[in-house]
Amino acid sequence: MDNLNVRVHGSISLDRNVRFFGQVDGDLTISPGHNLELHGRVGRDLIVEEGASATVYGVVGRDVVNKGGSVVVKEAAGRLDDEQDAIVPGVLPKSC
């Protein structure tokens, strides 16, 4: 798993396993077959594609959208949109 600590002015799609410590101003999408540990901040949506996985230790400004992957939320997210009933909340999101 690669460590990544950058600021992205816009959206990004990751197609590798990443431990992310930076900031994305837009959406962050994790591609199928890859894992994300989010320790940083996503300004808009975190999108987890089918077959991907994400663990959220950081902050998601809007929604965590699960399109068939595996998601564990340890910190704050705007809203959980679980299309496949696969989100396991470690801590309730701030909207609950």
Segment 19-61, tens digit of pLDDT: 999 999 999 999 999 999 999 999 999 999 999 999 999 999 9
- Residue type present at position 23: Q
The structural domains of the chain, with segments of one domain joined by +, span 2-89
Tell me what pLDDT residue 90 has: 46
Q: What is the Cβ-side half-sphere exposure of residue 29, based on CA atoms within 13 angstroms?
A: 11
Q: What Rg do the C-alpha atoms of the chain give, in angstroms? A: 11
- pLDDT over threshold 90, residue 89: no
Average pLDDT, the chain: 84
Percent of the chain with pLDDT over 90: 66
